[in-house]
Amino acid sequence: MKDLHEIALHSRNSYYDLSVASLQLRNQAILCLADLLRDRFPEIRSANLEDYAAAEADHLSSPLLHRLVFDEKKLEQTVEGLNSLAALPDPLGKTTYAEEITGGLSLYRVVCPIGVIGVIFESRPDALIQIASLCIKSGNSVILKGGREAIHTNQVLCECVQNALEMAGLSPESAQLLETREDVSAMLKEDTLIDLIIPRGSRQFVQYIMDNSRIPVLGHSDGICHVYIDEYADPALAVKLSLDSKTQNVSVCNAAETILIHEKASASLLPGICDALAKAGVEIRGDESVQKIHSCKPAEETDWSTEYLDYIVSVKVVSSLQEAVSHINRYGSHHTDCIVTENARNAAEFMNRVDSAGVYWNASTRFADGFVYGFGAEVGIATGKIHARGPMGLEGLTTYKYKLIGSGHTLSEMKDGTRSYTHISLHQDCPY
């Protein structure tokens, strides 16, 4: 096993080549990966069953066990995502600004990769494929560290990624896998070779990474998502969206963890919502007002800031839209929150005032996903504001550089009046 500095060095060198590889080669690697996943699926499934058995023996919770599975259904979803990603336009080389500074001196701002990216993610094997493929398409090298529960699955999947890169004539060291916590600690010290760290996990975990590295960190924190049932909510939609947001998949970051309901709608709508959730196996933890309407466990202060990732939901009655917004901005993780209402003015106020990456009107929080948004896949969902926000696809993995093209121009000529500034917008892409 190479030491971490050597891994980071090889990643940096691989990046220099991958960053200028043609779109055809990058897409070829992604499509080869799709084929390899199908060809090696028996091996992948065997490794995954080994991981699953070990996690089950360690008494991992049922929702987290579900997240660990890489079966035929997950294979098909992953391959579909790879094919969709390959079909997307090239994220690199776009000119976003062009101006003639003075006669014959042209300035262009052009999209380019970030460089070497370290991604620490949870025990979801399909996440490795999503992250690696997005980095390949965007010309970035990636160092991957998945959850220990998926170690054997991740090893096979990373081999598939590296083989696909080789088949396309690209360096397999553009994607490398770390396996221990010690590797992560060492990676955080490689600030001269690694350009960005993306940790996916709890707020405490993201904060730990920020506190222990000089490398810029783009946090993908926990998902404390809300469904607010407004006083003007349609009863059927209130049940439908609460149920889907909470139970479609409880072990993901865009599942709802708290339901807020306006006091004027609580008596009429809350029983139906709670009955539907309870029927789906959800444990309800309610405030005093909820307890008077429906039998449930009492909610504690910590419930409002808890990401359950399980069949548990906290429910609170609020006196107004403003109280709902204040609650979300205080206790939420700035991930995804939705309002259920037939009142357009209330919907607009909610979407403008809630300080989250995704704000929805009459739509399930489960739509917060890079594939659903048309990004092909996602590295994660960024809950910060700089430099990416929400489902992070290709665009979030790019930056830009300025290209200045002249013919012997000097600043002295501008200063002594030999040349003058023109600042004319150029309606053309950078030719180089």
Residue 387's pLDDT band, with cuts at 50, 70 and 90, is confident
Q: Mean pLDDT across the chain, nearest whole number?
A: 96
C-beta separation of 202 from 306 below 8 A? no
Mean pLDDT in residue range 151-164: 98
pLDDT score recorded for residue 377: 86
Supply the DSSP string of 270-336, one letter for each residue. HHHHHHHHHHTT-EEEE-HHHHHHS--EEP-GGGGG----SSEEEEEEESSHHHHHHHHHHHS-SSE
Question: Alpha-carbon distance 200 to 236, whole Å?
Answer: 35
Give the pLDDT confidence of 79-107 residue by residue, as tens digits.
999 999 999 999 999 999 999 999 999 99
Question: Alpha-carbon distance 254 to 239, whole Å?
Answer: 18
Cβ-proximal residues to 181 (8 Å cutoff; 6+ apart), any chain: none
Nearest to 307 by CA among 275, 331, 273: 331
Residue ranges of E strands in 59-218:
95-102, 105-113, 116-120, 141-145, 175-178, 196-199
Mean pLDDT in residue range 382-391: 88
Q: What's the whole-model pTM score? A: 0.91
Give the pLDDT confidence of 105-138 residue by residue, as tens digits.
999 999 999 999 999 998 899 999 999 999 999 9
Q: Using the predicted structure, report yes or no on whether residue 1 has a pLDDT greater than 70.
A: no
Integer-rounded Cα Rg, in Å, for the chain is 24
Domain boundaries, the chain: 4-95+111-220+379-397, 225-367
Report how far Cα 260 is from the mean position of its chain's Cα atoms.
25
- Report the half-sphere exposure of 78 (CA within 13 A, side-chain side): 28
Q: Which CATH architecture has domain 225-367?
A: 3-Layer(aba) Sandwich (3.40)
Give the pLDDT confidence of 340-374 residue by residue, as tens digits.
999 999 999 999 999 999 999 999 999 999 989 98
Six-digit token string for 384: 């910060």
Six-digit token string for 40: 């090696």
CATH number belonging to the domain at 4-95+111-220+379-397, selected among 3.30.420.10, 3.40.50.410, 3.40.605.10, 1.10.3720.10: 3.40.605.10
Give the pLDDT confidence of 239-253 residue by residue, as tens digits.
999 999 999 999 899
Question: In terms of C-beta density within 10 A (0-12 exposed, 13-18 middle, 19 or more buried), how is residue 295 classed?
Answer: exposed
Instruction: List 344's β-bridge partners, or say none.
Output: none
Asked if the peptide bond before residue 387 counts as cis, ω within 30 degrees of 0, the response is: yes
Alpha helices (H) along 88-150: 125-137
Question: Alpha-carbon distance 366 to 152, whole Å?
Answer: 29
pLDDT score recorded for residue 343: 98
Alpha helices (H) along 188-247: 203-211, 235-247
